[in-house]
């Protein structure tokens, strides 16, 4: 299938545990961030987004935290399930009319 999970850092978690996936961004002027999930053989899928005027946003079983002081973004997945196994990557945008810049991704592997 279509995937580029090779050579990516891997996070291995036990099924049922919480997962924390981290992303460091480089541009302190970035004002919008998105987390995407990419399953093997599929295209990236939107999970959750957050604007820079927020430091936390919750979705269904996922929470995104933004720490602008250290330019750090994290995705927390509660009660991780086998279906959560995928490559996760963050994207940032800097101001209006700028493009999204995507990170390289992290592979989440869920142990049964």
Partner 1 sequence: DAGITQSPRHKVTETGTPVTLRCHQTENHRYMYWYRQDPGHGLRLIHYSYGVKDTDKGEVSDGYSVSRSKTEDFLLTLESATSSQTSVYFCAISERNSMASTGELFFGEGSRLTVL
Using rule CB under 8 A, residue 98 touches partner 1: yes
14, 16, 100, 111: residue in contact with partner 1 (rule CB under 8 A)? 100
10, 45, 58, 67: residue in contact with partner 1 (rule CB under 8 A)? 45
Measure the CA–CA gap between 102 and 78, rounded to whole angstroms.
Answer: 24
Measure the CA–CA gap between 24 and 44, rounded to whole angstroms.
Answer: 19
Of 82 and 102, CB closest to partner 1: 102
29, 53, 70, 96: residue in contact with partner 1 (rule CB under 8 A)? 96
Using rule CB under 8 A, residue 49 touches partner 1: yes
43, 53, 60, 69: residue in contact with partner 1 (rule CB under 8 A)? 43
Q: Which residues contact 105 (CB under 8 A, 6 or more apart)?
A: 4, 5, 8, 38, 87, 88, 89
């Amino acid at each position: 299938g279509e995937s580029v999970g090779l050579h990516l850092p891997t996070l291995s978690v036990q099924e049922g545990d919480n997962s924390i996936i981290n992303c460091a961004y480089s541009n302190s002027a970035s004002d919008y961030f998105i987390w995407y999930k990419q399953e093997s053989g599929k295209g990236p899928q939107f999970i959750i987004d957050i604007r820079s005027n927020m430091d936390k946003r919750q979705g269904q079983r996922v929470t995104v935290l933004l720490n602008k002081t250290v330019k750090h973004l994290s995705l927390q997945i509660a009660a991780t399930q086998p279906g959560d196994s995928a490559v996760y990557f963050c994207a940032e945008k800097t101001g209006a009319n700028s493009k999204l810049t995507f990170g390289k991704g992290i592979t989440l592997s869920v142990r049964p």
